[in-house]
Structure 1
């Protein structure tokens, strides 16, 4: 006869945060617009940025008296408004979440004010090319970073689920591996892409943020769950 026992667990509806649902057709269209936008950055990198050959090569050139490489022309203006990499984007989202809007002290001149970088408008993640452990934190971070902004200006999170998206982004940017890209609000030439994304991608929602803002008391819910008692546990029970 199968034995069961009752286990009490805390019941909460706020355990997970879902990624925005985006149709595959819309994902493909967004990827095309993004690659078209980033293509000039990759072209500049391929034409003017020489891959590093290490310190030893540089030291040999200096000891031989050879002149360094010619001056590299500046990158397109878009480069200053694009962040690439999980670590960089995670740090920026954390800073946006913890930043407090404070009025400067009276008498502070415009020259003494500390400039703040514009927040993100869209974050793109290639989800199929890596483990979920690398990007599962993004829905919560994006939602928290957008909590103080109007709904129509919230940061959009776009997850590409098709295989090969990371390889295509890498090829466009001329970087060995690209899995995440973020665009800032004032990024040039992004109006069409941003309008398309905002029209088809809903903001990330976290139920516990709305619950916390309501400031209502909620009682702790303890849910009894029936679980099976394994053979080893049954044997120990008979011995005792």
Structure 2
């Protein structure tokens, strides 16, 4: 926040947080295109299946009778032996809510006990099965920390990777918003708010290798600073 005043009346001060800002890994324009192409190649089989076997939604009906009739017609037209979706469908998360919930579960298992309690979910029971690790989290936004719906994602990813080996740590990708319609088209869905790809996803080896080679691990230095014993006061700069 900043306090402003007219010249010659009161001094101007700028107040900033005492902790280090999160450094966000960025890609070049060519790397963004490469990542988008690789992501689409992984997701395309699922999108093709949806085009062929999933009936598009026509929206909610006001009358219950109309809804019942539509359901009956859909049951009659449904094939007796539907084709199962491709394997990749069991190895991805689609949507900001789904990705957030899984990252919270991962953070609860991976983050140290001294991590800020407001930045992670409730700790799991000792006998709980650890969640499946994510190799990639993709956000269609240039700078998620500056976006209110996405601002929590870097913190959660960092908490998930605090005890991980660097070569196996989850990579966080921020692609330009213009890439989102291309990815949504590959999935044959209207919108992709976030995408998570599990470790070991079939057909994703080339994508994961490319990302791990070109994208560094996301680090939120303020978490380590908050865990440390050193007290940090508010920074006030005289402008």
CA drift at 1:132 = 2.0
Q: Match of 2:195?
A: 181
Say which SS state the counterpart of residue 142 (structure 1) adopts: helix
Q: Match of 1:121?
A: 135
Q: Aligned partners of 2:141, 2:23: CA distance in 1, in Å?
A: 13
CA drift at 1:73 = 1.1
Q: Aligned partners of 1:143, 1:120: CA distance in 2, in Å?
A: 12
CA drift at 1:28 = 1.0
Say which SS state the counterpart of residue 164 (structure 1) adopts: helix
Give the TM-score, by structure 2 length: 0.77
CA drift at 1:91 = 1.0
Superposition misfits of 4+ residues, deviation over 6 angstroms: 62-66
**Equivalent position to 1:79, from 89, 92, 97:** 89
**Equivalent position to 1:60, from 64, 69, 80:** 69
Q: Aligned partners of 2:30, 2:149: CA distance in 1, in Å?
A: 25
CA contact (8 A) 1:49 1:72 kept: no
CA contact (8 A) 1:6 1:224 kept: no
CA drift at 1:223 = 4.0
Q: Aligned partners of 2:221, 2:206: CA distance in 1, in Å?
A: 31
- Residue 211 and residue 205 in structure 1: after superposition, are their counterparts in 2 closer, same or farther (change >3 A)? same
CA drift at 1:186 = 2.1
- Residue 224 and residue 102 in structure 1: after superposition, are their counterparts in 2 closer, same or farther (change >3 A)? closer
Q: Which runs of 5+ in 2 are unaligned?
A: 1-6, 110-122
CA drift at 1:152 = 1.5
CA drift at 1:7 = 5.7
| RMSD of aligned Cα (Å) | 3.0
Q: How many residues align?
A: 214
Give the TM-score, by structure 1 length: 0.76
Q: Aligned partners of 1:62, 1:22: CA distance in 2, in Å?
A: 46
Q: Match of 2:147?
A: 132
Q: Match of 1:20?
A: 25
